[in-house]
Amino acid sequence: MSVSMPSFLNCISDDDFAHYEVDDYQKCVAKWCSGCGDFGALNATKRLLAKEQLQPENTVFVSGIGCSSRFPHYVNSYGFHGIHGRALPIATGVKLTRPELDVFVVMGDGDCCSIGTAHWIHAIRYNMDMTVLLLDNNIYGLTKKQTSPTTPIGFSTNTMPRGSYLPPLNPLTATLGVSNASFVAQTADWIPAHMYATLQAAYEHKGFSFVRILQRCPKFTPDVFTDAVKNPDNNELLVHENGIDAPGLEKLFKNRIIHDPKDLDGGRHYAEVENRVRLGLFYRNGELPCYEDTREVVSVTAAEKIQKINTEFDRYAV
């Protein structure tokens, strides 16, 4: 596990950085494979941070393990690169103790939907005010092409060379099936305008904003989304006055479904896998209470924490 701090903290005065540009949020050069969808997600995220003028010292990125989980290393803010599948409980702890912070969680499909499944399900129930990004490339990329929970059936990998024999898990229907789900959306790395608009809507929502980003892995799953990338007619956008507003896509993406994101049953229906990639806001409920608002967090100093720990240890002294 590693914790990173924003480089801006060594500035002399807060006035020196009264306004942040997009590049101000880039901590260092991102090291992903050329053509990786993670670059698009990072760029959209930096645009969002600049648009909202989020203060680096009041912003936290938390991740688990995987290619996408290197996010905190590349964003100039506080960051916590945790362990596999445990990004959400770490983020929950951050938000409980510092509810005023802007918390972002970045996970991969194996990270969230396999070892992290239990944390994912209960984080939905808690409905804490955080923006959660699932970067789904349908494969374990960091460990070199093992079948993940979202790998398409029949797709050959190093762990299943004859092809995956289980139907892939659908993160959208899984999330929409959990009580207290409040924001569920899907976007794709090959439509940057839609991805940025989706992240904007997710950030503005007060509650657990779950965004699945379909992305290409140029090394191991380069052809999974080929039909959707090459032919816009294989994409279908959910549109509504209360949904995702991504201007300029009307001429290119003509397949559009009018879906009110207040309609949970409709969201579940449209989230089902069919012969097209469906993007947009499937469900939003801004009236659900956030978990941190229902809990009273008692402030404890560092000295008091040490005293409490030592008192507890003394109980077991021999």
Assess if residue 300 is contained within a domain.
Answer: no
Write out pLDDT tens, residues 247-306: 889 889 999 999 999 999 999 999 997 778 999 999 999 999 999 988 876 777 888 888
Assess if residue 305 is contained within a domain.
Answer: no
Assess if residue 313 is contained within a domain.
Answer: no
Assess if residue 186 is contained within a domain.
Answer: yes
Give 223's contacts (C-beta < 8 A, 6+ positions apart). none
pLDDT of residue 237: 96
pLDDT of residue 12: 40
CA distance 277 to 205: 24
Query: 3-class DSSP state for residue 18?
Result: coil
The rounded Cα 298 to chain-centroid distance in angstroms is 29
Closest CA to 7 of 94, 51, 95, 73: 73
pLDDT of residue 2: 66
pLDDT of residue 294: 87
Q: How many domains does the chain have?
A: 1
pLDDT of residue 11: 47
Where residue 208 sits, what CATH number does that domain have? 3.40.50.970
pLDDT of residue 99: 92
Residue 308, sorted as left (phi over 0), alpha (psi -120 to 50) or beta, turns out to be: alpha
Assess if residue 88 is contained within a domain.
Answer: yes
Q: Rg of the Cα trace of the chain?
A: 20
Tokens of 2: 């590693």
Assess if residue 143 is contained within a domain.
Answer: yes
pLDDT of residue 30: 92
Assess if residue 68 is contained within a domain.
Answer: yes
pLDDT of residue 64: 94
pLDDT of residue 67: 92
Find the length of the chain.
Answer: 318
Give the phi and the psi of residue 290 in degrees, each rounded to 5: -85, 140
Spans of the chain below 50 pLDDT: 11-13, 15
Query: What residue numbers bound the domain in which 264 lies?
Result: 2-292
Specify the pTM.
Answer: 0.89
Assess if residue 316 is contained within a domain.
Answer: no
